[in-house]
Chains A and B, each alone.
Chain A
Amino acid sequence: MSKQQASRPLSPHLQVYKPQITSVSSILHRITGLLLSAFSLLWVSWLLAVYSSATTYDSFRQLLQSWPGKLLLLLAGWALFYHLMTGIRHMIWDSVHMLELDSAKRSGWVIVIGSLLLTGLAAGIWL
């Protein structure tokens, strides 16, 4: 490493960087984005089922109503609520609002807790 390189600041090293609500809520936006991209196949499968036949449609419904199916829906629902809320926060941030550390921490907790509450509510209604 050259002298110049050595004197440059390092970006936070994940192995030694203490998880905080700001960093955790940030990476969860990316993780839920990835999850939702995979879950987009649920939408395609539903359309395929509605297109094909009553038998296919019924077995698709049964699959979703089994406990692994319900778990999948629960995860998809949480990812959607969470990503939607952090997505709104991104747009608020882009308008140069709520960027102070206090505010970012507060909105982080609101989103983590809010997304869990919404998922619980949705599960209560539909599962």
Chain B
Amino acid sequence: MSRPHVNTRSALAKARNHGAAGSGVTHWWRMKISSLLLLVLTIWLLFAFQAMSQADFSAAREFLAAPWNTCMALLFSWTLFYHAQLGLQVVIEDYIHSTWLATTFTIGLRLLALLLATLCSVLILQVALNPSAAGV
């Protein structure tokens, strides 16, 4: 008896990663995790805003150079641009119907987010490592 096409993969394995986006729930998960992180970091942002509301230049540098603040500022910068890039990608996919144009925009967007996150990191670390001296 010949049974040529026996597929041993389970129904779940066959369905996995083949949704409309072609990548399963990956984007959704990243959005959730980055949202939760931003939720916490936004509370730090409000705290920083309060601390900065009266601060002059040297006080602002000192604030940013305190280890926990340096840490939160870095995490905020990374999560902010990560979440924004993921979110804007969805907006692009919704409104730009040409696949190659949407892909081009998404790649450009990712590079821009990477650039801005890196810029923020460099600025934060420059201040943190040398709080008493001005940069330029």
- What string of 1s and 0s marks CB contacts (under 8 Å) between A39-70 and chain B? 01001100110111110011000000000000
Tell me if B's interface is mostly helix, strand, loop or mixed: helix
Segment of B1-9, B14-22, B57-65, B100-108 in the binding face: B57-65
**Bound: A102/B87 CA distance, A:** 28
For residue B127, which residues in chain A have a CB less than 8 angstroms away from its CB? Answer: 47, 50-51
Select which of A44, A51, A87, A88 is within 8 A of B116 by beta carbon. Answer: A44
Nearest CB on B from A11, distance (A): 13
Nearest CB on B from A116, distance (A): 17
- What string of 1s and 0s marks CB contacts (under 8 Å) between A60-104 and chain B? 000000000000000000001000100110110010000000000
For residue A28, which residues in chain B have a CB less than 8 angstroms away from its CB? Answer: none
Q: Is A34 on the interface with B (CB-CB < 8 A)?
A: yes
> Is the CB–CB distance between A40 and B81 below 8 Å?
yes
Nearest CB on A from B89, distance (A): 11
**Bound: A90/B76 CA distance, A:** 21
> Is the CB–CB distance between B119 and A44 below 8 Å?
yes
Nearest CB on A from B76, distance (A): 8
**Bound: A79/B126 CA distance, A:** 30
For residue B116, which residues in chain A have a CB less than 8 angstroms away from its CB? Answer: 40, 44
- What string of 1s and 0s marks CB contacts (under 8 Å) between B33-52 and chain A? 00110110010000001100
Taking beta carbons and an 8 Å cutoff, which residues of B are in contact with A?
32, 35-36, 38-39, 42, 49-50, 53, 56-58, 60-61, 64, 73, 76-77, 80-81, 84, 87-88, 91, 116, 119-120, 123-124, 126-127, 134-136
Pairs across A and B, CB under 8 Å, 20 listed:
A30-B91, A34-B91, A40-B81, A43-B76, A43-B80, A43-B120, A50-B60, A50-B61, A50-B127, A51-B126, A51-B136, A52-B135, A52-B136, A53-B134, A53-B136, A57-B56, A57-B60, A84-B42, A88-B39, A90-B35
